[in-house]
Structure 1
Amino acid sequence: MKSLKYLCLASAASLAAPACAQEAEAQPEAGDTAEIVVVATGFAQPRDTTGQAITIVTAADLERQQAVNLTDALRTLPGASIAQRGPVGGQTSLFLRGGNSSQTLVLIDGVRINDPSSPNAAVDFGSLLAGNAQRIEVLRGPNSVVWGSQAMGGVVNIETALPTSDLEARGALEYGFADTVLGRANLSGGSGPVQASLGGTFYRTDGISALAGGTEKDGSRTWALNGRIKAELVPDVSIDLRGYYNDSRVDFDSAYSGGAESLAVANNRQFAGYAGLNFALAQGKWQNRLAYTRTDIRRRGTDPVVYSYNNYVVSGTIDRFEYRSSYDLAALATLGFGLEHESTASSTSYEGDPAQLQDTDVTGGYVQLSLRPVQGVTLSGGVRHDDYSTYGGHTTFGGNLAWSLNGGATVLRATYAEGFRAPTLTEGQPPYGNTELKPETARNVDLGIEQSLLDNRVRLGLTWFNRRSTDLIVYSFSAGRSENIGRVDAEGLEFAMRIEPTDRLRVEANYTLTDAFNRSGSFTGKRLQLRPQHSGSFSVDWATPLGLNLGATALLIGDSFDDQANLVPLDGYALVTLRASLPIGDKLELYGRVENLTDAQYETVAGYGTYGRAAYAGVRVKW
């Protein structure tokens, strides 16, 4: 059963699809309350001009929450659920709207970090620190017209610190439970036409036992570097360079060696690079971008006790070339189109065996038209075709409507979107793959409304979604390979609320109802594993007149199951975090928090350890 080795690992890495950061800095076009998004079309646009459901997490949000890793912020968003195996650094999966973790496309500065050497190409969020993240956009639902494969359940775009014209520096140092140390710093500035940003983050912890009940602690160490350079060569012509590097060492417990006392270690390295040329023609009406991106991932596992599945060396690379364009035909229409080509390769070796080499190429293109027939109404529709050297061709359609009423106070949204996930190299190629696999596909319908009241001090949002996924790739033990035998139906509601009764008080809440069921095979009618039906969060932040900032967040997760047969239940839980910060002058701030205040006993994955009550304190500086 050597092929089962490929089902024992999942990790993170990259592809590419630029997310035009310089355009994301532009000012909103649809009123002071509009927010700029990129994940809808690949180019910046006000959020109230797209029918797709998108949530934005800002740098201020991350700082207010005192987020350590990205999942600290993502787990509080509508439609998102997190499964973490053990301590910080352990394998961590994101599920959007009940979809599989492999069906979410994740980008860092426009470069995909889905690992082509992983069995299902899902992203492991365990080592992705919040660090110098500037902004996160989360699009819930398919959007493969723009982003291609894996944009089936949603798209997460993570943007690192942007370059600035003025010299700016900031940093933070934190210490807490389990001898945990976190440090980060970022420096940015510019001179004439050149602007740059460079930063780094370091994290280490003694951790806890990854498997519940163990006495041997499983710690982790991660450091990451981020850098960006923007340079205007001549008016309307600029270059954009971006780079991200992540190096982590994670202790983990293995069922194949020692159980909760296992000494297995994973060493992972991840690089995502982007080089782009931006130019405008026709008096700025025609925006163009040429880009090359490189993703390089290396993962190595070692186990000093047993020579087993825990000893492996795997790598994955993606080289991608693309051209993207947006042309304003008139005040009432914008045409977007793009051409892309990428080459993907992986190398996998277990137990010192000769490496298995696999590769594929894909060439794709899309056209998308946005119409604004009357003020406040935006209609968008598009089509995409991808041609894989190993899997054949696939065509994707999608369209959406946004209707912004009464000056943007009310926004109605409607979306029909298709998504697909091409078979991974492991699933679809020899020696263990099935060359006859077809892509997974999804069809999704969204209906939503957002309402602003009292001069935008109250914002309410409600979205209904329905998604049917077919031809899901499932490993068949009887056939000894992956097959297109899965079908899933998911339906639900997402509610979000933000209230700011005064300039000092902010209250936020959200609730998600997710009904995700298997509709094929022996598990027909069973709920998808690790997908709670009910989830939500509530947070309040108060800037006191004395200068002290106080806040609290309650994360509320309902019951779920850990297995496909729904025989292993996971009880729901509530986690409460208290936090405080105290500015000292303009350049210094002290902060601290207590996580899991009530010392709740819970599991996000059956049998894996979770943190009890834990306290942390730190200092931030900026100048």
Structure 2
Amino acid sequence: MIEIFFGFLTLFVHEDPDIDLQLTVYSSKADRALEAIPGQVQVITAEDIEKNQWNTVAEALATQPGLTLVNQGGDGSLTRLFLRGANSEHVLVLVDGAERNHAGGVARAYDFAHVSTVGVERIEIMYGPQSVLYGSDAVAGVINIVTKTAKEKMTGAATATWGEDQWSTRAEFQTRTGETGIYVSAEQRQSGGLSASDDRQIESPEKDDAAHTHARVGLDHKFQRLQTGIKLDWLEGRLDLDAFGGDFGDDSNYRGNIRESSAVAFAGFQWFEGAESRVQINFSETRRRDRNPDDYQPDLVARSEYTGHNMELDWRNTFAIASSSRLLAGVEWEQERAEGSDRYYFGDTPFDSALDADADTRAVYAQLGGTWPKGSYLAGARYDDHDRFGGELTYQLGGTWSLSDATHLSAQYGTAFRAPSLYQLYSQYGNRELEAERGKLWEVGIHHRWSNLEWDVRHHRADYEELMSFFFDPETFASYYINEASAEIKGTESSITARFKQVSFRVYGELLDTKDASGNELLRRPKNRYGLSVNGQYGERWHWSLNWLHEGERKDITFDPLDFSQVRINLKAIDLVDLGAQAKVTQRMSIQAHISNALDDEAVRVFGYLSHGRRYTLGITAHL
């Protein structure tokens, strides 16, 4: 089969365009070139999103090496990300630099369930420790979603998509007059047709619907030496929930609502050649509200409502040192706030809990990067002062070495931390004596480039200590969080990428070895994962895509029905194939067709929860 594929591939090879490694990585804060960063970086562009018809950020991330997404059901269900096997709360998620991790959540982990790709210019994935630049939560890596900025005088597009159990509409518009530009985008999506819980005790379980509305606005203006801008992002999602996965988990009354928003205001000034400053103010808010009326007494409503706020001020300066080095130095202030409450019933008796807390963090950081005749180097340090648990020092070292014009070695080592969440500190299960979780991470790699071919191999290791876990005291019957867990993660990633005139492809694979303090595998992390992405073009009007993802077996837990003890089980391997085609009908109109999960695989990532089978969609796009 491989021979047939590569034989077919040669039919399209007419030109050999070079692979561009000068792509700027904005989440490096100093806007460094991709090839100057020693750690692994992946960039998903707007062109990639359009060609593969990825409607959500989760769909795009699922095709990348080292990223495992775990969802509890179909569209709109809770979706967490494991980056190189690390916990989901060890990944910092940004939108235009604004932190979107839920400050009111249990561990501040981010939920990717409803995030649309509408108006997205690129998605940057920085692997490895990034606490030097971003402080808490950037332990295993950073996901930075960069939205579009107006580039042309006036353009726009509108798309409508239909499927058996889903529909969506999206629109984008941009205009630029002189030095002022505005970009507006919005999407509305609704889907259903699936019960999240695999409840086999009910003949016809309720189908859980989901819907979201996502809008983005960007405004910028450039003066002679001053660049200013504002970016707004607003998301609201609605979904039907089930009580839990598996038998008796279906719940026809359970409803959830999530609302996220962020605002970014920035100003960048060039003092003189080689000296620049940037001030950025970020604000974000996440509100999650769940309600579940009792089946027999509708007036008894179990509910949970938590809101998290983040406010951040970042002042950073970049200075050119000689001709080959740049110093990045900055100060940062952040305030997080959480408020919310829970109510549940035992019989007719209500039990309530509430949370209202905040914390401030002040930080100073510096990073020196540059090139030398045989490669590049990067070194940095940061000190964070958290007003609840004290200070934390992190650092990072890395570099690249050129064996030849085509072959490069790279290495990176760094430390990182995650501060306890406000929920873990101050909720009814909180512990004010908690310390920060800490990680030591390193990776080494080799990268080879020849014309239109690119080959990359990386080996990484992470050691996590002082991880927080939920503890129940059998003597006092008290429950609270403590620092007692640890984990060790090792892995190897490899990829081959080729770009030709009418076809491009990437093959990637990874092996992952995880274990906790007891030597057990971490839950829901596949030991092996590999995939294939192909994009092809036929003439000027036709484009097609194929994405195949294989995830090996993984461990999960269930409960023994007799004594309710935890039992570790194996979840079977997953094979997902997505097919897409697009045709340009006229200069201003195109049509799209897409088949997701073409093999109709039962892709169970969490025991007891179902996922969508084969689905067909058709779409039409009109351009201004």
Change (3 A) 1:191 1:548: closer
Distance 1:253 1:556 in 2: 28
Deviations 1:522-556 (A, max 9, x none): xx111100110101111222212484322221110
Which residue of structure 2 lines up, in the alignment, with residue 367 of structure 1? 366
**1:449 aligns with one of 446, 468, 472:** 446
Quote how far apart the aligned CAs of 1:292 are. 1.4
Which residue of structure 1 lines up, in the alignment, with residue 467 of structure 2? 472
Change (3 A) 1:287 1:480: same
Change (3 A) 1:380 1:148: same
Which residue of structure 2 lines up, in the alignment, with residue 272 of structure 1? 262
Quote how far apart the aligned CAs of 1:376 are. 4.8
Which residue of structure 2 lines up, in the alignment, with residue 296 of structure 1? 285
Which residue of structure 1 lines up, in the alignment, with residue 410 of structure 2? 413
- Mapped pair 1:102 → 2:103: no
Task: Give 1:471-510 correspondences, 5 Å limit.
Answer: 471-478=466-473, 480-500=479-499, 502-510=500-508
Distance 1:135 1:404 in 2: 28
Quote how far apart the aligned CAs of 1:602 are. 2.9
Which residue of structure 1 lines up, in the alignment, with residue 6 of structure 2? none
Distance 1:308 1:65 in 2: 46
Quote how far apart the aligned CAs of 1:301 are. 1.2
Change (3 A) 1:38 1:310: farther
| Structure 1 contact 52–446 (Cα < 8 Å) conserved | yes
3-state SS, counterpart of residue 428 of structure 1: helix
Change (3 A) 1:293 1:509: same
Distance 2:495 2:80 in 1: 23
Which residue of structure 2 lines up, in the alignment, with residue 329 of structure 1? 321
Task: Give 1:442-591 correspondences, 5 Å limit.
Answer: 442-453=439-450, 455=451, 457-478=452-473, 480-500=479-499, 502-519=500-517, 524-545=518-539, 547-563=541-557, 567-591=568-592
Which deviates further from its counterpart, 241-250 or 300-309?
300-309
- Mapped pair 1:380 → 2:378: yes
- Mapped pair 1:219 → 2:217: no
Structure 2 runs not aligned, ≥5 long? 1-17, 345-351, 559-565
> What code does the residue aligned with 2:484 have?
I
Task: Give 1:57-456 correspondences, 5 Å limit.
Answer: 57-178=44-165, 180-213=166-199, 215-232=205-222, 234-255=223-244, 259-283=249-273, 285-305=274-294, 310-351=302-343, 353=352, 355-372=354-371, 374-404=372-402, 406-407=404-405, 409-429=406-426, 431-453=428-450, 455=451
3-state SS, counterpart of residue 613 of structure 2: coil
| Structure 2 contact 291–301 (Cα < 8 Å) conserved | no
Quote how far apart the aligned CAs of 1:236 are. 1.1
Change (3 A) 1:325 1:207: farther
Distance 2:408 2:234 in 1: 39
Quote how far apart the aligned CAs of 1:259 are. 2.1
Distance 1:293 1:546 in 2: 42
> What code does the residue aligned with 1:103 have?
H
Deviations 1:358-382 (A, max 9, x none): 111111110111132x235211111
Change (3 A) 1:32 1:123: closer
| Structure 2 contact 243–249 (Cα < 8 Å) conserved | yes
| Structure 1 contact 560–571 (Cα < 8 Å) conserved | yes
- Mapped pair 1:37 → 2:29: no
3-state SS, counterpart of residue 35 of structure 2: helix
3-state SS, counterpart of residue 145 of structure 1: helix
| Structure 2 contact 127–140 (Cα < 8 Å) conserved | yes
Change (3 A) 1:503 1:309: farther
| Structure 2 contact 496–507 (Cα < 8 Å) conserved | yes
> What code does the residue aligned with 1:460 have?
W
3-state SS, counterpart of residue 563 of structure 1: strand
> What code does the residue aligned with 1:302 have?
R
Deviations 1:254-308 (A, max 9, x none): 139962133211111111111111111123x111111211111222111233578
| Structure 2 contact 88–109 (Cα < 8 Å) conserved | yes
| Structure 2 contact 39–443 (Cα < 8 Å) conserved | yes
Distance 2:231 2:255 in 1: 30
Distance 1:308 1:127 in 2: 29
Which deviates further from its counterpart, 66-75 or 526-535?
66-75
Quote how far apart the aligned CAs of 1:449 are. 1.6
Quote how far apart the aligned CAs of 1:429 are. 2.4
Change (3 A) 1:412 1:165: same
Change (3 A) 1:435 1:290: same
Quote how far apart the aligned CAs of 1:404 are. 4.5
Distance 1:38 1:310 in 2: 43
Which deviates further from its counterpart, 302-311 or 396-405?
302-311
Quote how far apart the aligned CAs of 1:621 are. 2.8
Distance 2:416 2:212 in 1: 33
Distance 1:570 1:85 in 2: 14
| Structure 1 contact 463–494 (Cα < 8 Å) conserved | yes
Change (3 A) 1:430 1:125: closer
Quote how far apart the aligned CAs of 1:156 are. 0.3
3-state SS, counterpart of residue 253 of structure 2: strand
| Structure 1 contact 48–411 (Cα < 8 Å) conserved | no
Which deviates further from its counterpart, 63-72 or 244-253?
63-72
3-state SS, counterpart of residue 210 of structure 2: strand
| Structure 1 contact 49–403 (Cα < 8 Å) conserved | no
Please report the TM-score for the alignment, with normalisation by the length of structure 1. 0.90
Quote how far apart the aligned CAs of 1:415 are. 0.2
Distance 1:138 1:376 in 2: 26
Distance 1:319 1:412 in 2: 39
Change (3 A) 1:354 1:464: closer
Change (3 A) 1:308 1:67: farther
Quote how far apart the aligned CAs of 1:620 are. 2.2
Distance 2:615 2:549 in 1: 16
Deviations 1:111-136 (A, max 9, x none): 11000100010000001122221100
Change (3 A) 1:460 1:586: farther
Deviations 1:121-171 (A, max 9, x none): 000000112222110011111110001100001100011122224212122
Change (3 A) 1:177 1:602: same
Change (3 A) 1:395 1:546: closer
Query: Aligned-residue CA RMSD in angstroms?
Result: 2.0
| Structure 2 contact 159–171 (Cα < 8 Å) conserved | yes
3-state SS, counterpart of residue 298 of structure 1: strand
| Structure 1 contact 225–244 (Cα < 8 Å) conserved | yes
Which residue of structure 1 lines up, in the alignment, with residue 615 of structure 2? 614
| Structure 1 contact 83–604 (Cα < 8 Å) conserved | yes
| Structure 2 contact 186–216 (Cα < 8 Å) conserved | yes
Quote how far apart the aligned CAs of 1:414 are. 0.6
| Structure 1 contact 132–201 (Cα < 8 Å) conserved | no
Distance 2:221 2:536 in 1: 40
3-state SS, counterpart of residue 77 of structure 1: coil
Change (3 A) 1:354 1:613: closer
Quote how far apart the aligned CAs of 1:396 are. 0.3
Which deviates further from its counterpart, 419-428 or 559-568?
559-568
> What code does the residue aligned with 2:275 have?
W
Q: Once the two structures are aligned, what percentage of the paired residues are identical?
A: 25
3-state SS, counterpart of residue 61 of structure 1: helix
| Structure 1 contact 309–350 (Cα < 8 Å) conserved | no
> What code does the residue aligned with 2:146 have?
E
| Structure 2 contact 198–249 (Cα < 8 Å) conserved | no
> What code does the residue aligned with 2:503 have?
L
Distance 1:96 1:31 in 2: 25
Structure 1 runs not aligned, ≥5 long? 1-29
Distance 1:207 1:31 in 2: 42
Change (3 A) 1:615 1:231: same
